[in-house]
Chain A
């Protein structure tokens, strides 16, 4: 096969960028020439070697590539700014240090400390209760002395 194959596209339907990407995928087998006229884009394919695939197969391949590239382009355009923002943020990202209290304690240490305080408070409370119980038995004078 040594014939040149030509395709003409409406630029409104197929943006130039999409056409460029689609036909780049054939550039290992064809010389690709893209010409732009008013609203029309003409693509000429010239086989690099004699034994390139048949036209039917190539047309199918191009159709499939267009289907993917159009949607890829849409997703790409929708996300261009967001992508740049995310990568910029990722480059400057510093992982958050484990949260610590004013005393410089990690959440785990704080939890442990709270547990200890609770245990001590419970012990104290028990002791206080004991003392309170004993208090009841005491007279006014025993507790506060004589007036």
Chain B
């Protein structure tokens, strides 16, 4: 606050009453945010004037007021509804229910997290009775929307359980007022027309993995019995064509989607990977960094990379995607969509890893093939490695017991950003989240230390890249189009 000079009116004194704000410097700009998720980008002078002199231009003052930064001028209806909207997940139980129907898989992906076993090992197939009990528990959730995700291994190897569980879910849906989404993550290697028809008729969304062009995809996703890339493309084309040509059907056929896992071999090929998606009529790409969990943790020296390398890749990729958008090509990046939804629309995109507290047990639940229940799929993987610390119960337990388990509560406490030393002060606090499982896997501590966390560096870097790109009105126009009236994305 400036001292009052004799004979002059001190305009700075008490001219602003700031609420609690957080800030971060990105190059020559400061991003300031508040608890309601509003942000402003200030230059150095504006920031200094605001923070140290408590005096800003009338124009900036108006902006600060309109975004709830000044406590004497707050639009409570706007601020409270914005807060409630972005934290809507706090008001109901887990919405994402992952069923690991088998660990059998015919691929040996270099980064596999799921502890897959050989195709002859049917001991890891989930019996139908366990799948049904898992579904029963899920329906106890207070969430108005439930998403069932069938995973593996390769879930199609346990088709009997998968198909019966899907039928059971659709049956239960009839007597429930919940909205139900079902998805399956498959490498398509054992897909056939009969299975495809059943999945489409039951409105199951299809998700696969596509790591880029043939050479890169097959290097990451090793499949000795056939060509993984060609199988993937063949079925992507099939589902795309079925989606595009659906008419007069009593059910909806969803557009297929594909996940991309970035290995160290992928880092050189951002253009080629994105072009591959465009070529195959996929309009969304999800550039996911590797997680040091499971097999990937053991192979980290060969396939891993640091946050700096990933961020360079991500920045180049996003710039390339924006350049394609400017040419009229429809392609979006999913991480950016999720973060932009939070920043621009105060909307939770359903990405349970970036919540406060994180979704472990309260936003998602993973049901293992043997009936054990975990906070999340990552927690299940840690269990498979021999440390069952993220197990929250079994299918024999009640929903109440699972949700109230000590592990669920511990994860909620440790991932509450108010309890995290650096996060509580971070400008990205309203949009971000920590993962106790990754903290435990990478730092042997569920609290973690974000200063040395590669995950934190990656998300911090992605936020920086997005906020920097948002400075350009042309980019902003594209970003806005990505998040306008879009349906909720469930990951």
Q: B460 within 8 Å of A by Cβ?
A: no
Q: A56 within 8 Å of B by Cβ?
A: no
Interface digits, B422-435 against A, CB 8 Å rule (1 contact, 0 not)? Answer: 10010000000000
A93 and B19 contact, CB distance less than 8 A: no
A89 and B52 contact, CB distance less than 8 A: no
A83 and B422 contact, CB distance less than 8 A: no
Q: A25 within 8 Å of B by Cβ?
A: yes
Choice from B35, B90, B422, B449 contacting A86 with Cβ under 8 Å: B35
Interface digits, A102-126 against B, CB 8 Å rule (1 contact, 0 not)? Answer: 0000000000000000000000000
Q: B71 within 8 Å of A by Cβ?
A: yes
A79 and B84 contact, CB distance less than 8 A: no
Smallest CB separation, A18 vs chain B (Å): 12
A86 and B451 contact, CB distance less than 8 A: no
Tally of chain B residues near chain A (CB < 8 A): 24
Smallest CB separation, A20 vs chain B (Å): 9
* Given known contacts A71-B51, A86-B35, A95-B77, A79 and B19 CB-to-CB distance under 8 angstroms: yes
Contacts of B81 in A (CB 8 A): 93, 95
Q: B159 within 8 Å of A by Cβ?
A: no
How far is B20's CA from A89's CA once the two chains are assembled, in angstroms?
16
Q: A90 within 8 Å of B by Cβ?
A: yes
B84 and A90 contact, CB distance less than 8 A: yes
In chain A, residues 19-57, which have Cβ atoms closer than 8 Å to a Cβ of chain B?
Answer: 21, 24-25, 27-28
B451 and A25 contact, CB distance less than 8 A: yes
Q: A96 within 8 Å of B by Cβ?
A: yes
B452 and A28 contact, CB distance less than 8 A: yes
* Given known contacts A21-B425, A24-B422, A87 and B35 CB-to-CB distance under 8 angstroms: yes
Contacts of B421 in A (CB 8 A): 21, 24
Q: A75 within 8 Å of B by Cβ?
A: yes
How far is B451's CA from A90's CA once the two chains are assembled, in angstroms?
31
Interface digits, A75-87 against B, CB 8 Å rule (1 contact, 0 not)? Answer: 1101100110011
B422 and A25 contact, CB distance less than 8 A: yes
* Given known contacts A82-B71, A83-B35, A90 and B422 CB-to-CB distance under 8 angstroms: no
Smallest CB separation, A8 vs chain B (Å): 23
Q: B143 within 8 Å of A by Cβ?
A: no
How far is B105's CA from A15's CA once the two chains are assembled, in angstroms?
58
Q: A132 within 8 Å of B by Cβ?
A: no
Nearest chain B residue, comparing its CB with the CB of A25: B451
Nearest chain A residue, comparing its CB with the CB of B68: A86
* Given known contacts A24-B421, A28-B452, A87-B35, A76 and B20 CB-to-CB distance under 8 angstroms: yes
* Given known contacts A21-B421, A27-B451, A79-B20, A90 and B80 CB-to-CB distance under 8 angstroms: yes
* Given known contacts A79-B71, A82-B19, A96-B77, A87 and B449 CB-to-CB distance under 8 angstroms: no
A86 and B79 contact, CB distance less than 8 A: yes
Q: A72 within 8 Å of B by Cβ?
A: yes
Choice from A21, A24, A25, A87 contacting B83 with Cβ under 8 Å: A87
How far is B52's CA from A93's CA once the two chains are assembled, in angstroms?
34
B451 and A75 contact, CB distance less than 8 A: no
How far is B248's CA from A97's CA once the two chains are assembled, in angstroms?
39
Known pairs A83-B35, A93-B83 / 13 extra A-B pairs, C-beta < 8 Å: A21-B421, A21-B425, A24-B422, A28-B451, A75-B20, A78-B18, A79-B18, A82-B19, A86-B79, A86-B80, A89-B76, A90-B84, A96-B77
> A residues touching B (Cβ–Cβ < 8 Å)?
21, 24-25, 27-28, 71-72, 75-76, 78-79, 82-83, 86-87, 89-91, 93, 95-96
19 contacts between A and B (CB under 8 A): A25-B451, A27-B449, A28-B451, A71-B52, A75-B18, A79-B18, A79-B71, A82-B19, A82-B71, A83-B19, A83-B20, A86-B19, A87-B83, A89-B80, A90-B79, A90-B84, A90-B87, A91-B84, A93-B84
